[in-house]
Amino acid sequence: MNKLNLVTAPDTRSEEWVSAMLDGELETDDCLQAISRLGKDASASRRWAEYCLIGDVLRACPQDSAGLGARLQAALAEEPTIVAPLPSPTIERRPLYWVAAAAAVAAITWGVLHSTPETGPAIPVAVLATPAEPSPVAANDVMPLLAAHQDYTYAVVSDPDMKFTAIAASEGRR
């Protein structure tokens, strides 16, 4: 409300935006630009520090010793850089994603419900389906592996039935 675009104002020499930013009186887009610029612009950074000091003096905050700022800066420089951005924007901020997802689901559902086979009568699925049988070859391939690794698994070793099965499979393989 009533906040002007200062960061991108034609008169780029003016650093009024630093003052407005410190007071939380910039528009969101301007502010994001300002934050980015503040980190790179030495003159703006200096003003930020000066304005902070002026406000603190007027509010009767105690002043730090001359070396604290430098010590803090050195200590921070020694810290490993953190790279841990916040998770992606929240649901409320990105409603279009959910609208698009819902539309996609609706389209797929509609397509499935309205698609019919072009030839032949409908055949019950149960008639076509055949029960899947485990492949004995595959089971035989797996069992030695399980037997070989059972010593590393507490649950397998502690279950006598499974251990017996694994040993039997191993011997059967030989």
Partner 1 sequence: MSEREIDRQLVERARRGDKRAFELLVEKYRRRLLRLLSRMVRNAEEVEDIAQETFIKAYRALPNFRGDAAFYTWLYRIGVNTAKNFLANRGRNMPTVSDQAMSDEDEPDERLVAQDVNTPESMLLSKQVALAVNEAVEALPEELRTAITLREMEGLSYEEIATLMGCPIGTVRSRIFRAREAIAAKLRPILGTSEDKRW
Q: Is 141 in the site for partner 1 (CB under 8 A)?
A: no
Name the one range near partner 1 by CB under 8 A: 49-57, 96-104, 112-120, 149-157: 49-57
Angstrom distance (rounded) from CA 54 to CA 162 = 76
Angstrom distance (rounded) from CA 143 to CA 160 = 15
Query: Could you identify the residue written with the tokens 């902070």?
Result: 52
Angstrom distance (rounded) from CA 161 to CA 79 = 55
Q: Is 144 in the site for partner 1 (CB under 8 A)?
A: no
CB 44 within 8 A of CB 21: no
Q: Is 60 in the site for partner 1 (CB under 8 A)?
A: yes
Residue from 5, 9, 12, 35 in contact with partner 1 (CB under 8 A)? 35
Q: Is 168 in the site for partner 1 (CB under 8 A)?
A: no
Query: Could you identify the residue written with the tokens 């520090």?
Result: 49
Q: Is 39 in the site for partner 1 (CB under 8 A)?
A: yes
Residue from 50, 99, 149, 164 in contact with partner 1 (CB under 8 A)? 50
Closest by CA to 34, choosing from 49, 19, 46, is 19
Judged by the rule CB under 8 A, the positions of this chain that interact with partner 1 are 1-4, 6, 15-16, 19-28, 31-32, 35, 38-39, 42-43, 45-66, 68-73, 75-77, 79, 81-86
